[in-house]
Amino acid sequence: MYFLLLSSLLLLVSAPVLALDLSEMDKTAQSFPNIKTVQVAHKGEIVWSKAYNKADIHAVANIKSASKSIMSSIVGMAIDKEIIKGVDQPIAPILSDQLPDDPDSQLNDITIGHLLSMQAGLERTSGEYYGRWVASSNWVKDALSRPFVEEVGGDMEYSTGSTHLLSAIIMRQSGKHTYKLANRWFRGSGIRIESWETDPQGIPMGGNQVGMTPASLLAFGELYRRGGVTKSGRRILSEKWIAESWQPRTHSRFHRGLYGYGWFIQTFAGVQGYFGWGYGGQMIYVFPELELTIAITSDEFLPSGKTGYRDLLHDMVSQDIIPVIQAGI
């Protein structure tokens, strides 16, 4: 009898919460060999939490470039705390000792906001340029020494180096480690950064290589979905910053989504959505009008953009999740 009772309790703990019929989504997820976990929250409650392909729902995941959304929130909190003056603050005076010996005058025009929206104009440090950048002895100086390929404030040049500069600025202005500062500010929200790769100078990589559990990633999306307050009602992030982050400022040439401050902006099944996207298919989706948040982790070593996997995840959200939520409202 004791064994049967214990088995029943364990089943209740490990099985997805079936308040909504997400069985079609489950079938779709099972068809992806590289998906690891899916978590769905609706109206503040977790309605689905499941691991796939022998993954561990509690394991720390490398959220890759979804880290850029995390970095954006840290900048927002730093502005709220007056560690940074605002998005219009020029970066050159802060990082003056990291500028090249004969600096291009356009460096004086780059602001915090330009880094957040990937409109610094500097040559990218992502994609085919990534390896050379991380092999350099000083990632900050290398990013600032890149040639200008666009006007400052012009077309988007998706670059992890831009968000890395933000991490360096946070550390310089606060005198504290970005990683520890973030966890202190996130305390009580369910969000926790478990690991974060650093550059040769010890600066956490602003736009990549953050380790979080799937539950923590979901909690991050929920913080934005609730307008910057924790589940208990404590404000961590200003509502104004979330609105600014979700305002379209540019768009990527790699896909049709618009881009704000560290967030992609796109409609899904006619519903306005905001998402963070990391290599391999690390996704955090927020749909405020549906009170819906979705966190997905995947194999971090397999591409998601060129293979079409990212778009398949978008389709799963549009076809197998949103209609179920709408039908249940």
> What does 127-175 look like in DSSP terms, one character per residue?
GGGHHHHHTSS-HHHHHHTSPB-S-TTSS----HHHHHHHHHHHHHHHS
- Which regions in the chain score pLDDT beneath 70? 1-19
Q: How far is CA 207 from CA 38, 86, 118, 168, in A?
A: 22, 19, 11, 11
Q: Residue 94 has what pLDDT?
A: 98
- CATH code of 321's domain: 3.40.710.10
The structure's pTM equals 0.92
Q: Residue 13 has what pLDDT?
A: 39
Assigned domain for 9 exists: no
Question: Number of folded domains in the chain?
Answer: 1
Assigned domain for 233 exists: yes
Q: Residue 11 has what pLDDT?
A: 37
Assigned domain for 261 exists: yes
Assigned domain for 3 exists: no
Assigned domain for 4 exists: no
Structure tokens at 177: 């480690």
Q: Residue 98 has what pLDDT?
A: 98
Q: Residue 19 has what pLDDT?
A: 58
Assigned domain for 10 exists: no
Q: Residue 307 has what pLDDT?
A: 83
Assigned domain for 321 exists: yes
Q: Residue 57 has what pLDDT?
A: 97
Domain that holds residue 119: 17-328
Assigned domain for 11 exists: no
User: What digits encode the pLDDT tens for the residues 164-220?
Assistant: 999 999 999 999 999 899 999 999 999 999 999 999 999 999 899 999 999 999 999
